[in-house]
Every structure is written in C-alpha cells, then in structure tokens.
Amino acid sequence: MITVVLADDHAMFRSGVRAILDTQDDIACVAEAADGEQAVEQVLRLRPDVAILDVRMPRRDGLGAARAILAVPGNRTRVIVLTTHDSDDYVREAVTAGAHGFLLKSMPAEELIAAVRIAARGDVLIDPSIVRRHLARIADALSPAEPPGDIARLTAREREVLQLLSGALSNTEIARALHVGEETVKTHVSSILRKLELRDRTHAVAYAHLTGFATRPGHG
C-alpha cells in the first residue's frame, strides 16, 4: 500500500484529489494538511511513501516544505510538487530540493495516480508539457565544457529505450513496451546516461529532443 500525505490550502481541491486517490486499491491518503508547516509535521510524524505538496501555501510554501522534508536524515518520503504555474524557478527549486515529481494541477486524474506510483518506486516524473516547454532551460544545465556524448555510442536496444524515455514513459511502461524486465530497463538507462555523459533521465529527455533524436524515424 502506498501511503500519501496531501497538502493544499484549498479544502475543495484536497477533497477532490483525495477522492481520486481513494479510488485506487494500492493508494491510501493517510493525512491532509492546509499549509506547509502542517505538511512537514504530518510527514515527519507519519513517514508516508509520498507527500503531495502545493507550491503556494501559507506559513511555509510547498517548496520550503519539500526542502525541510527531504533534508531529514534517513527520509524515505518522496515528494511531488503541484502548481498551477509552470514557472522556471519553481521547477528548478523543486528538482534541486530532490522532489520526485513536478506536475501541473490541470493534469488528468490518471496522470496524478501514475505520478504517485512512479514517485513511490523512486523514479522522477516532470509534467511532459513542462519538459517540452523548458527543454532549452534544462539543456543549459549541461556543462558546455563537457558536451554530451554521441548517439552512435548506444546499442540498438539503448536507442529504443532512449526513444521511449523521450516520450516521458516510466521504467515500467518502457519494460512493458519492449517486453523486458524493469531491472533490464534500469540497466539500459544507466548505460545511456554513462555513454552520453548525462546527469540524469531528465537531461536524457532534453538531449533526445534537442538533437532531434526523439522525432527521428528508424532509431534502431
């Protein structure tokens, strides 16, 4: 069972999200919070698998709450940040703090459910619309002194994985598409990052789009 603490200062929004999560047999919302301070208190008390935090909350905002939660030694709670604004600063701060998700509140219910499961297993999900709009900003994080490696270094299978990765698919979804185990996908992703000299899967997505690989036919 994936346990969740939900924090948002709008009671109606919290109720709606909780109702969505409660439809799932493997997810349980164990507490709610109306501000950032309450969120930190509830998370540290209950140690849920996932904390869903709105960016704009009184007393302490969601980004401040995320930093406080993720700075606790031995913390195992994954944080998903929700916002109505896909601000560059919000995305940067959330990723820097160590959040496992940054999503827009306008996303479909099924995407929120998927995000909770993705965060719970330790993978990172940034709203695909944000990734598409901010590829240039993400690419700026790549050191110009150490340009990414050449795509030719990848095996045919690794290219298939990168193509699916560029479509914001999770490891589980990639494994299903390629009919392989999830551990095999993780091994391929690690190899892709190493060969292309990329820091993480977010940069891999940026690389695939910026080089045109993501939309290039016949990757194999």
pLDDT average, residue stretch 108-130: 83
Rounded to the nearest 5°, which phi and psi values hold at 109? Answer: -55, -40
In this structure, are 51 and 129 located in the same domain?
yes
Instruction: Show which of 100, 133, 166 is a domain's final residue.
Output: 133
Look at residue 220 in the predicted model and tell me its pLDDT: 45
Instruction: Show which of 75, 105, 133 is a domain's final residue.
Output: 133
Instruction: Show which of 107, 133, 159 is a domain's final residue.
Output: 133
Q: Taking a C-beta distance cutoff of 8 angstroms, is the pair 181, 174 a contact?
A: no
In this structure, are 187 and 114 located in the same domain?
no
- Beta-strand ranges (E) seen in the chain are 2-7, 27-33, 50-54, 78-83, 101-104, 125-126
For 138-187, what is each residue's pLDDT tens digit?
555 544 444 445 788 899 999 999 988 887 788 888 999 999 999 999 99
The domain of 76 spans 2-133
Look at residue 103 in the predicted model and tell me its pLDDT: 87
**pTM score, whole prediction:** 0.64
Q: Structurally, how many domains does the chain consist of?
A: 2
Provide the pLDDT confidence category of residue 79 given band limits of 50, 70 and 90. very high
For 189-206, what is each residue's pLDDT tens digit?
999 999 988 878 777 877
Asked if the structure places residue 73 within a domain, the reply is yes
Q: Taking a C-beta distance cutoff of 8 angstroms, is the pair 102, 62 a contact?
A: no
Look at residue 134 in the predicted model and tell me its pLDDT: 59
Asked if the structure places residue 32 within a domain, the reply is yes
> Which amino acid, one-letter code, is at 38?
Q
Tell me the C-alpha to C-alpha distance, in Å, between residue 165 and each of 50, 92, 185, 192, 203. 23, 21, 10, 11, 11
Domain containing residue 78: CATH number: 3.40.50.2300
Instruction: Give the ranges where 47-170 is alpha helix by DSSP (H).
Output: 62-70, 88-97, 109-120, 128-133, 135-140, 156-166
Q: Taking a C-beta distance cutoff of 8 angstroms, is the pair 94, 66 a contact?
A: yes
- Whether the pLDDT of residue 217 is over 90: the answer is no
In this structure, are 45 and 99 located in the same domain?
yes
